[in-house]
Amino acid sequence: MNLLIVDDEPVIRKGLVKMAEQYPATLARIQTADNGVTALERIRAAEPDLVLTDIRMPKMDGLELCRVLHEQYPHIATVVISGYNDFEYAQKCIGYGVKHYLLKPVTKPDVHEVLDQLIKKARGHIAPSRLVEWIDRLEQHIWSLQHEELGALLVWWREYCLSANLTLAQLKELLNDCYAMLSKRLTARNFTPPPYQAYMDACSVREALDAFESGLRRVAEGLSATRSGHFRDPMEEAKAYIDSRLSQEVSLDQVAAMVGLTPTYFSALFKKITNETFVQYRINRRMDKAKELLAVPHIRIVDVASEVGYDDYPHFTKTFKKIVGVSPSEYRTGFGIK
């Protein structure tokens, strides 16, 4: 955890630093500032995980600093130091997300107790199921070159990460895992994204997210350049796959796997694009194929049924009549074929 201590009194500032240094769990970095303006400069240069600030300071007081942090850096935990006379004033910080207060004179047990509460508090948690879902959608949008959908997904991901209250170190680890997982998946599809870790050099959560998003857009652009305009829409691939296997019992899961989409996402996207469910589309294509074959005189109707995937002849005739409006034999008679 990285800590920023903000107090205009040098003696108090040094005392707080010493107390923090004596905390049993070593803090990664401890910085100081003598007022809110300087504190914001430190925060913008390298976001801390925790800000410990006095209320009364020149240039920018602690209340105003808390307001700015609440609006611009809501993921940073804030602890306010106040005297008894300032307590009512400090209560205004409640509206800015401040939930921890230290009353002067501050002691080492006080500092260690609040650090215990903040460090032991469950923070920075991303549900594994949500992460897998996001990687699935990310892979799908990049592979399908759905740039608008990718942009919307990245906006959602940014908001989700910020609401999860991740520390910068936690976020970097998460983004590194995400990029590695995405690269592995795309490599399995015969496209290997270039190594990219610019987000690991970021000094703030937002900067890391910016760098990560930039890297993902570069992956999509690289994939587009590799295809050189010869990309075939996954729904067209799916339809061609189904159409070429009408005599077989092809499942939705098989087709989804073939185009590299999850079954749920594929099913929804297929319905949106074709205005038919997967089952409806396959039945309709089978009946279209059956009509073509029935127009060929030497092919028996029972063989037509088999060619379009129906071993159960009665079921074929029932389905054909339901879709076409007449039985297979009546349809064939219309061509003058007996």
Structure tokens at 104: 């002067």
The tokens of 73 are what? 């850096």
- pLDDT values of the chain reduced to their tens digit, one per residue, 338 residues: 788 999 888 888 899 999 988 887 767 788 899 888 998 888 888 778 789 988 888 888 878 888 888 888 877 888 888 775 666 666 676 667 776 888 878 888 888 888 887 766 545 566 566 677 788 889 888 888 888 889 988 988 888 788 777 778 888 888 988 899 899 888 887 888 888 888 888 888 888 999 999 999 989 888 888 776 555 567 888 888 898 888 888 999 988 887 777 788 788 888 888 899 999 999 999 999 999 899 888 889 999 999 999 989 999 999 999 999 999 999 988 877 76
How far is residue 334's CA from residue 338's CA, in Å, rounded to a whole number?
A: 9
What residue type is assigned to position 89 of the chain?
Y
User: How many alpha carbons lie under 13 Å from residue 318 in its C-beta half-sphere?
Assistant: 6
**Across-strand partners of 81?**
54, 102
Instruction: Look at residues 143, 187, 138, 136 and name the one whose alpha carbon lies nearest to residue 158.
Output: 138
User: Which class does domain 2-120 fall in?
Assistant: alpha beta
Domain ranges of the chain: 2-120, 128-227, 234-333
User: Rounded distance, CA 51 to CA 285, Å?
Assistant: 64
Q: Assess contact for 61 and 180: CB atoms under 8 A.
A: no
Identify the residue whose tokens are 């703030």.
Answer: 204
Residue 250 corresponds to which amino acid?
V
Strand order in the sheet with 29-33: 29-33, 2-6, 50-54, 77-82, 100-103
Whether the model clears a pTM of 0.85, i.e. scores above it, the answer is: no
Per residue in 309-328, pLDDT tens? 998 999 999 999 999 999 99
| Cα torsion through 277, 264, 261, 130, rounded to 10 | 160
CATH class of 234-333: mainly alpha
- State pLDDT tens for residues 200-241: 888 888 889 999 999 999 898 888 887 765 555 678 888 888
What is the greatest pairwise CA distance in the chain? 106
CA-based end-to-end distance of the chain: 84
Residue type (1 letter), 265: Y
Is the separation of the CB atoms in 178 and 135 below 8 Å?
yes
